[in-house]
Structure 1
Amino acid sequence: MLFLVTLSSRAEQSAIQRQSNAHRAWLAHHTSQGRFIAAGPLASGEGGVIVAHGDQQSELEAVLSSDPFVALGLVDVTVQAWTPAIRHDEFPARWAQGATSLAG
């Protein structure tokens, strides 16, 4: 199952900047483990988005609690389960099982 995770800033930018390296290392670790497919900041600068893959939302929430931004209360987190119905042919089927493949 795919999950869309939104991190919304709730602290001053200076506090977030102090934890940015630790947050990026945390993202890199979980991306290399296959939990996260993509992640990055919002263009507005008011937070970020993570596209995650996993079996249970509760497992993802446990992983998210170890994010320095979350652990220090610098962001609010919203998790939404998402089941793609269609996908571009180049989007891996293992992340969107059951989605109809459409060529671009």
Structure 2
Amino acid sequence: MNLFVIDLTYRADLSEIDRLLEAHRDFLKQHYAIGVFLASGPKVPRNGGIILAQGESREAIERVVEQDPFKAEGVADYSITEFSPVMTAQGFPTAA
């Protein structure tokens, strides 16, 4: 498994983000349930969000991101960064 940081930057007003928030959270829950997402939350200040994910490849993560209602509605831009941790907390997943 490879690790990824998915960095969302909002392109729309927060009223548009809030309108889609429940659907976005359902998307997150679905991918937590299957073990793809490890952590997520809004940036401070609230101009986007961060998702920590694991997957077989960057392409696999890109396919997941395409399912996000924020992406489908065009209200957020996405940056995906793959990384290889050299140190982690005990029990934290590491890249294979």
Which range, TM-score by smaller chain? over 0.9
| Structure 2 unaligned residues grouped into runs of 5+ | none
Tell me which residue corresponds to 2:91.
91
Q: Secondary structure at the match of 1:66?
A: coil
Q: Does 1:76 find its partner at 2:77?
A: yes
Tell me which residue corresponds to 1:31.
32
Q: Secondary structure at the match of 2:51?
A: strand
Per-residue CA deviation, residues 48-83 of structure 1 (Å, 9 max, x unaligned), is 000000111101101100100011110000000010
RMSD: 1.1
| Structure 1 unaligned residues grouped into runs of 5+ | 99-104
Work out the CA distance in 2 between the residues paired with 1:23 and 1:3. Answer: 19
Q: Secondary structure at the match of 2:78?
A: strand
TM-fit CA distance, 1:91: 3.4
TM-fit CA distance, 1:87: 1.2
Work out the CA distance in 2 between the residues paired with 1:81 and 1:12. Answer: 29
Work out the CA distance in 1 between the residues paired with 2:75 and 2:47. Answer: 11
Higher relative contact order (CA 8 A, sep 6+): 2
TM-score, normalised to structure 1, is: 0.87
TM-fit CA distance, 1:97: 4.2
The residue type equivalent to 2:20 in the other structure is Q
Q: Does 1:67 find its partner at 2:65?
A: no
TM-fit CA distance, 1:43: 1.7
- Matched residue pairs, number? 95
Work out the CA distance in 1 between the residues paired with 2:91 and 2:48. Answer: 25
